[in-house]
Structure 1
Amino acid sequence: MAKLVVLYKTPKDTAAFDRYYSSTHIPLARKIPGLRSYDISEGAVAAPAGPSGVHLVATLTFASMEDLQKGLASPEGQTAAGDLANFADGGADLLMFETRDA
């Protein structure tokens, strides 16, 4: 399996971010070819020391890193990636990695 984790930093207007993310970005991202599952954090994203500065965490799962990369390179993946500029004014970190059972 391979995962794409997106750490959305706290935006200027959290309510506007949440509305846009739910109504526009999620439907775009769900169209990425090869996407197996997609989940997002609910409630505050905390760090052991307290507030994290992260508003929302999204985890997208693919069968392999190859599928993840193909999905992101597809027109649907490019549309979803391009959409970040429309709502993620706090910034976002994207992390990609393969997983294994531990």
Structure 2
Amino acid sequence: MSGVKLIVIYPTPTDVETFEAAYVNEHVPMAVQRLAGKTKIVATKVLGAPAGEAPYYRIAEVHFPSMEALEACAESEGGKQTLAHAAAISSGGPPIILIAEEESFTF
């Protein structure tokens, strides 16, 4: 299996400035510190969509070398705290959380 990742998709917050402050100053440092076993975090801010306004505001991808590493992180106290914080700061509704296998193609 290729690497796996935990994907967190945040709906547009009710207050963008408050969400950004919590995300950048609290959540990202928490994820960096407490998500054991991760190999990379990619934080994406959605700028728009071809059909108009995008339904989501941010997408976070936390990469792991294996499903076992992701599961161990999710079951850890740091993983539980970080996922709970993600839900707590998501003022536009609950975040969507997905687990995905990643394939890369280099050109």
TM-score, normalized by length of structure 2?
0.85
> Matched residues in 2 for 1:78 and 1:7: separation?
17
Match of 2:42 in 1: 39
What 5-or-longer segments of structure 1 have no aligned partner?
Answer: none
Q: Of 11, 14, 17, which aligns to 2:13?
A: 11
Where 2:35 maps in the other structure, the secondary structure is coil
Gaps of 5+ in 2: none
- After superposition, the CA RMSD in angstroms is 1.5
For 2:95 and 2:16, how far apart are their aligned partners in 1? 14
Which residue of 2 is the match for residue 60 of structure 1?
A: 62
| Compared CA separation, residues 86 and 27, structure 1 to 2 (3 A) | same
- Matched with 1:49 is 51
Equivalences for 1:10-29 in 2 at 5 Å? 10-29=12-31
Q: TM-score, normalised by structure 1?
A: 0.89
Query: For this pair of structures, how many residues does the alignment match?
Result: 101
Give % identity: 29
How big is each residue's C-alpha offset from its partner over 1:59-82, in whole Å with a ceiling of 9 and x where there is no partner? Answer: 110001111111111110011011
**AA matched with 1:14:** V
Equivalent in the alignment of 2:101: 98
In structure 2, give the amino acid aligned to 1:99.
E
Q: Is the 8 A contact 1:32 1:77 kept in 2?
A: yes
For the 8 Å contact 1:64–1:98, the answer to whether it is kept is no
* Closer, same or farther: CA 10–42 of 1 in aligned 2, 3 Å: closer
